[in-house]
Amino acid sequence: MEINRSLSHLDSQGQAQMVDVSGKELTKRQAVAAAQVRMKTTTFNTIQAGNAPKGDVLGTARLAGIMAAKQTSQLIPLCHPLPLHKIEVQIEPNPQLPGYQIQASVTTKAETGVEMEALTAVSVAALTLYDMAKALEKSIEIQSIRLLSKTGGKSGDYQISGDC
């Protein structure tokens, strides 16, 4: 078996390993991720009116996203535990879907980036929204989970191009 030596998460025998970031400088890093959740108009209207059977759907989903970002290293193998300085999760209604746009922004000053924390935040917020509303509709769709941007680090800045 030939081992690709350029993959940072593999050792010389091809075994998974956590990357050693101890030699890297602490720098400010930020990542922004997004997701969308589609549903029937009746479900959307019920959530907007605050009449969902389980209570505050959007507030619970937002809090779940924040909590999930803080737990990322326990969920994703080989992900470094990081001191997170700011986590912001926004859930905006989009009547045209109908559904919600979820966006998470995570900031740290560390040796490695926070892309996984931002992606975890939007994923868990979307899953929580589904859980809170599944009594109204089982066919809710979680879509388009993606990194929108990141700043800081050796690989430089990234921003998604085009419409998302």
Residue 79, annotated as binding a ligand: yes
Amino acid identity for residue 32 in this structure: V
**Residue 42 vs residues 52, 130, 136, 146: alpha-carbon distances, Å:** 11, 15, 9, 27
Catalytic residue among 11, 20, 131, 163: 131
Residue 63, annotated as binding a ligand: no
Concatenate the DSSP letters of all residues of 18-61 into one string.
----TTSPPEEEEEEEEEEEE--HHHHHHHHHT--TTS-HHHHH
Residue 26, annotated as binding a ligand: no
Q: At 82, is the secondary structure helix, strand, or coil?
A: coil
Structure-token pair, residue 37: 């959740």
Residue 80, annotated as binding a ligand: yes
Amino acid identity for residue 68 in this structure: A
Is 157 labeled as catalytic in the residue annotation? no
Dihedral sign (CA 6, 11, 17, 21): negative
Catalytic residue set: 131
Residues at the binding site are: 78-80, 116-117
Residues at the binding site for substrate are: 78-80, 116-117
